[in-house]
Amino acid sequence: MSDRIFGDREKALEENYFRNQDAKLLQQLRQGSKLDDLALALADKLNVDKPELLVRVRELGVTADTAAAFLLAPLVQIAWAEGAVTRPEREAVLHLARERGIEDGSPAHGQLTAWLDSRPDDALFDAAVEAIKSGLTVLPGSEKEERITRITDACRRVAEASGSEIARLIGLGDGVSSDEGSLLDSINRRLRAHD
pLDDT tens digits along 69-83: 999 999 999 999 999
Cα(15)–Cα(35) distance, integer angstroms? 27
- The helix/strand/coil state of 97 is helix
Position 170 pLDDT exceeds 90: no
- pLDDT given for residue 74 in this prediction: 97
Cα(75)–Cα(78) distance, integer angstroms? 5
- pLDDT given for residue 186 in this prediction: 96
Task: Please say whether the dihedral angle defined by the alpha carbons of residues 104, 109, 114 and 117, taken in this order, is positive or negative.
Answer: negative
- pLDDT given for residue 166 in this prediction: 43
Cα(58)–Cα(191) distance, integer angstroms? 21
- pLDDT given for residue 24 in this prediction: 55
pLDDT tens track for 1-43: 555 555 555 545 445 554 555 555 555 545 554 566 666 666 7
Q: Which amino acid belongs to residue 65?
A: D
Position 165 pLDDT exceeds 50: no
Torsion of CA 73, 74, 80, 81, to 10 degrees: 160
Distance, CA of 46 to chain centre: 13
CA atoms within 13 A on the CB side of 24: 17
- pLDDT given for residue 43 in this prediction: 72
Residue scoring higher pLDDT (195 or 118): 118
pTM for this entry: 0.79
- The helix/strand/coil state of 4 is helix
- pLDDT given for residue 194 in this prediction: 82
Residue scoring higher pLDDT (124 or 3): 124
Average pLDDT over residues 122-130: 96
